[in-house]
Structure 1
């Protein structure tokens, strides 16, 4: 099967799973937001912050090294497996012990229980991670999709049930623990045909993986701080409730890219890792950016222009303070569409250190920028600071991609100008509707969505992709 056929088949299964997960996650958030107040989302956001930090060290960075090096040696995989289990229990213990420090920092006693309970997930995740790696390496996207859907269904059922039963912040944490356990079981059950560990453990024999993983983990640490610095600042300096408002705004503003981009990255990276042709990598990067931007830009533009209606209708009047934040943070997502595939390019060229340097430079700039804007403009200022540092990161990433695959910027700009133009026309027409017809209530929101969708699809059919080409693509899927 050709790379294109594999990519199409993988994208089909991954897209199906992501669409289902997206709808379920959206429904879950909309339902529980009616029950749980912003402060609870602030608590969960802090807990997630702590967990995500420790997740950086998952498998010592082996996730991408196994794929990049196409590792098949059972002894090496067994060493990685046992090292991961030991690391999982170590991380779980560290999280449990760190709960007191987090409580003292944020002065919020409720954090102690949710963090301690969440620590249980780490031994499970680290035990099953190698099976997820191998399933992805072998392009078993159907199996991965099925597991993701099962986990998503279980998560929404548990979360909503517990939230309406009065468990408050524990409803989200308890459901995560249970569905993590179920997914761990399924990864091992369905991946055991690819790998059965043997009693073998020699760290010296995985030094190449460790060397690869050191930069990857270092990049992850810096990326974590870069991506969550504003949450750390808000939770401490502004307040837990404000952090809840920011969390809702951030989740909504990055919602399209966090759902679509992983589909593309999950399918494309294992294929790109097999490529040794630099021109092929450049073409792959440009095609991925073209696809991501064409799919995401209309969603992000629509969210920008309709956010005042969307936030209140979905989450309720208590979250009206998130509207302006959404309008600002959405520009971070615009930039993320063009830089997201760069990581796959760097890893495919066996250069994980380059993305480490990107995050290091970005962090050095971000700390004083967020401090200045938070002091001058408060919560809104932090969002503006986030956009500015994201723009700097985009410039640096473009420089690195140019270094890895050669000149590409002219072609990239040519590709994204079309969806940007379509989006400007779409936003303009929706603005006119809001100005002269109405912008309050579900009916007007539905009308704006229909107008925006019709305009973008119509322009796409005329100037980007004809109906016959779309039908041919559908047939190939």
Structure 2
């Protein structure tokens, strides 16, 4: 099936992967930039309670989204030789499941109101549920772009979608739409994205009025594990929101959401630069452990090289960053943000694990693992909630080391990777980040009496310079690789 009319299809696997990382990086930079600016503006226009209510809404919507495509998207990516009729069947599965989820959200509103003790949630969920009538229509197109590593096109769509979201959300917030500005902004972005996807595929492939359950049966075993893993993974990622929203209220959840998003959100944008390229690339060499080992080590090296300095830097500048960018009313988020910096280090390293499990056709491991994680985190977060949002953040941090030491050896065994090889891949980014942290901290002691905003700016600039110089002195070749990647070589 020829759905790709440009030069992306003619590239080798390596060239496609390199181009994918490059364009995913461009997309990440632009999307994160727009969302950072949007969050900074909205933090001054909306209250912590508004953000907390949106967090509660997203707990409900996000849980339903885990069921959106029956786990079949990754099954399509993992399977070689998918036929056109199968794709049409997948399209209608997505549409039908979206309609079902829309109805389920409407019916389950009283449960959400009862659990969170927020009567306003009922009306907000009506509007938010419309996302399930929009997003599933474009899901198959996004999956096809990912399957063929067509990240240049996908990145352009993501960037324009972010512009639309930022403009619409800020405009609505200025018009006093409050929580609805966050909801409508997402709906507008989703509708815009679907329209663009249909435009991109208009001459190559569009779904037909064709549906056969028999055609997608063979995908369901892989998809079933994926679906189960998504649901459980969602619970493990959001159990803190669920518990804080219930026991500490919307304002506390708002402060927690800001702290979590400031550290974890950038990492969730940096990691997919590489990991969303890694899964389809790994799938194409799923039977060659030597290539998988090299690719996996390169992935975690790049991720740690990008993530670790951000984590170390934010750990130091968090107080000035919160006060200068978001305002004094968000100061209760500072300590939680600093704790999440340490959590972020483990989360960034754990992100590529899913790509390896899926590429090796072992989504079952991911499912069982995430069930275990949900159980561990549930007890930890419930215990931590007695000490507020900082207690919850600390409880999550204390679970990360043992969880990491359990899952990583399992993944290493799948691809015959020695733990020493793994540590070697992250050693230099870690050392350079520690040197940067010490350098910034020492400088801040000397200039501690200057203006807060100036202290923040000097800390960020000097930290970046220290990290780049230190890394360049230890490994100049990585900069040559990155330069080559940016050129598309």
TM-score, normalized by the shorter chain, greater than 0.5: yes
SS in 2 for 1:254: helix
2:247 maps to 237
Cα distance, 1:10 vs structure 2: 1.7
2:76 maps to 66
Cα distance, 1:70 vs structure 2: 2.7
1:460 matches 2:455: no
1:324 matches 2:330: no
Preserved contact between residue 92 and residue 120 of structure 1 (Cα < 8 Å): yes
State the 4+ residue runs in structure 1 displaced beyond 4 angstroms: 466-477
Moved more, 75-84 or 147-156: 75-84
The 1:472–1:173 alpha-carbon spacing in structure 2 relative to 1, beyond 3 Å, is closer
1:385 to 382, 387, 395: 395
2:325 to 314, 317, 320: 314
Preserved contact between residue 131 and residue 195 of structure 1 (Cα < 8 Å): no
Preserved contact between residue 256 and residue 300 of structure 1 (Cα < 8 Å): no
2:8 maps to none
Cα distance, 1:71 vs structure 2: 4.4
TM-score by length of 1: 0.96
1:227 matches 2:237: yes
Structure 2 distance, partners of 1:331, 1:303, is: 10
The 1:142–1:370 alpha-carbon spacing in structure 2 relative to 1, beyond 3 Å, is same
The 1:77–1:345 alpha-carbon spacing in structure 2 relative to 1, beyond 3 Å, is same
Preserved contact between residue 298 and residue 425 of structure 2 (Cα < 8 Å): no
Moved more, 408-417 or 343-352: 408-417
2:356 to 345, 351, 365: 345
Q: For structure 2, which runs of at least 5 residues remain unmatched after alignment? A: 1-10
Structure 2 distance, partners of 1:77, 1:39, is: 43
SS in 1 for 2:205: coil
* CA deviation vs aligned residue, 1:18-38 (integer Å, no higher than 9, x gap): 211111100000011111010
TM-score by length of 2: 0.94
Preserved contact between residue 14 and residue 145 of structure 1 (Cα < 8 Å): yes
Structure 1 distance, partners of 2:209, 2:46, is: 48
1:295 matches 2:327: no
Structure 2 distance, partners of 1:30, 1:251, is: 12
Moved more, 162-171 or 70-79: 70-79
2:146 to 117, 129, 136: 136
1:358 matches 2:330: no
Preserved contact between residue 135 and residue 191 of structure 1 (Cα < 8 Å): no
Structure 1 distance, partners of 2:302, 2:384, is: 34
1:159 matches 2:147: no
1:32 matches 2:66: no
1:146 matches 2:146: no
1:177 matches 2:200: no
* CA deviation vs aligned residue, 1:243-273 (integer Å, no higher than 9, x gap): 0000000000113311111111222211111
Preserved contact between residue 215 and residue 353 of structure 1 (Cα < 8 Å): yes
Cα distance, 1:278 vs structure 2: 1.2
SS in 1 for 2:71: helix
The 1:245–1:5 alpha-carbon spacing in structure 2 relative to 1, beyond 3 Å, is same
1:9 maps to 19
Query: Which structure 2 residues correspond to residues 46-85 of structure 1 after superposition, within 5 A?
Result: 46-85=56-95
Structure 2 distance, partners of 1:371, 1:100, is: 24
Structure 2 distance, partners of 1:296, 1:442, is: 24
